[in-house]
Amino acid sequence: MVIERAELPITVGREQDFEHYFTQAGQLLRAATGCRAVSLARGIESPSQYLLLIEWDTVEAHEAFTATAEMGQVRSLIGPFFAGKPNTGHFAPLKRW
């Protein structure tokens, strides 16, 4: 399993719209082949900053999804709310407590 982490800066004042459209985008992500789970969290100190965590079977599963029409739909749904480029990365889980 691989965890994709994306920090999403959202335009101030557009947070509620982003959350509304992310409901559909999250469903598209969750339906992707190789996707195990999707979670979205909102910043406490910075409420226009969101943390998206997606659990994938492999990095290759994530990369394959980026070439699909569904990923294009995700971008169309939530991209207009970005205040800047998302900061992303992949992580291999080590331990859970």
Residue 69 in domain: yes
Q: Which two tokens stand for residue 90?
A: 């992949």
* 21 CB neighbour count, 10 Å cutoff: 18
Give the single-character DSSP code of 10.
B
Give the pLDDT band of residue 3 (cuts 50, 70, 90): very high
Phi, psi of 75, rounded to the nearest 5 degrees? -60, -40
Per residue in 63-96, pLDDT (tens digit) is: 999 999 999 999 999 999 999 999 999 999 999 8
> Does residue 47 lie within any of the structural domains?
yes
Q: For residue 40, which of 4, 69, 90, 71 has the smallest C-alpha distance?
A: 4
> What is the CATH number for 56?
3.30.70.100
Reported pTM: 0.94
Number of domains observed in the structure of the chain: 1
Using CA atoms, how far apart are residues 88 and 52, in angstroms rounded to an integer? 9
